[in-house]
Chain A
Amino acid sequence: MILALALSMVVTQGYAPQRQGLDPLEAEKEARVMRLGKQLRCAVCQGVSIADSPASMARAQLDKVRELVAEGKSDDEIYEYFVKRYGEWVLLEPTRGGLNSLLWLGPVLLLLIGLGVIVMQSKRKPAAATAAPAPTETPAPPASDDALLAQVRADLEK
């Protein structure tokens, strides 16, 4: 029973017959409906906007946008209507403010921190060089080495 229910939920969700009452607005308002619809997430799809989804739920939500546009509501009022019902989840582009600022500023902040680390490291290098200077030339062999080499040569010639 549960399996049959689960299967039928998957199979039937989103497939609805063409129903009554769909009337597009005049061209300019309809363009606005589609623009707003592109920013709103369809409730039964995977990250698809209500303007792009063929699902019945998206169709109903787009009709609601149409109704609100016809009533003369502003873009913000329409977004607010959907957020009030479905939360910020419904917005495909999160609002800029509050905790969401982290989303927008996070990458920039991380980039700045990375740059800061690079700058700090590059400043540290010369200081380390003065403390322990790296050898620039091969040091001259000590005198005792010359004597040893001469001894080795003499032994080889024997």
Chain B
Amino acid sequence: MKKLLGPAIALAIIGLLVFVLFKAFGTDPHEVPFMLVGQPASNFKIKRLDTDELVTLDQFKGKPIVLNFWATWCGPCKMEHPVLEQAWRKYGNDAVFLGIVFEDNEQNTKRFLAENGYTFPQLFDPKSTVAVDYGVSGVPETYFITRDGVIQGKVIAPFVDIRQIEVRLKGLLQ
């Protein structure tokens, strides 16, 4: 029995090390975890850039919501904007499209939207705390929210084609 104690301890330590290594190599250390999938989306009350009217998430319950966090200083955000605009023009009657401006100022945002003729509703989050409520880890990020107000998931990369949005929207529109 005593003879087995040493190898047993050694085996336990090796097993523990293998487990730790497996866990460490099995995950990307730079990937920021996202914990809000399947959770109710936080309500907010922020103003719409074009009308100054206060908008809440709750007022859109019953319709799927596409929530895009972006900024004018973010190159990929600007690149994906035409794709979001196109999707809004196509599906704007069935789903709600909202942009939330992250860490930017009103002047920059209004100028960028006017210069490019983008018209889908944009909300202004002066301290970007709505973004933190949603667990945003950088921009652009787009959230897909069900009719019941539950976060179905988010896309961290910028959209380059409307079909990327359609794939996600189809599930929400059924």
* Docked pose: A8 CA to B157 CA in angstroms: 12
Q: How far is the CB of B18 from chain A (nearest CB, A)?
A: 14
Q: Could you tell me the dominant secondary structure of chain A's interface residues?
A: helix
Q: How many A-B residue pairs have CB under 8 A?
A: 103
Q: Is B97 an interface residue (CB 8 A)?
A: no
Q: List, in ascending order, chain A residues with CB within 8 A of B32's CB.
A: 43, 86, 89
Interface residues of B, count at CB 8 A: 36
Show 23 residue pairs from A and B whose CB-CB distance is below 8 angstroms, ordered by the A residue: A5-B76, A5-B79, A8-B79, A9-B158, A12-B74, A15-B73, A16-B71, A17-B103, A18-B105, A19-B128, A20-B105, A22-B127, A43-B137, A43-B138, A57-B138, A60-B127, A61-B132, A83-B35, A84-B36, A86-B33, A86-B34, A87-B33, A120-B6
Residues 95-129 of chain B: 1 if any A CB is under 8 Å from the residue's CB, otherwise 0? 00000001111101000000000000000001111
Q: Tell which of B127, B128, B135 touches A86, judged by Cβ atoms closer than 8 Å.
A: B135
* Residues of B close to A102: CB separation below 8 A: 16
Dominant SS at the B interface? loop
Determine whether B11 belongs to the interface, using a CB cutoff of 8 Å to chain A. no
Q: Is the CB of A19 within 8 A of B103?
A: yes
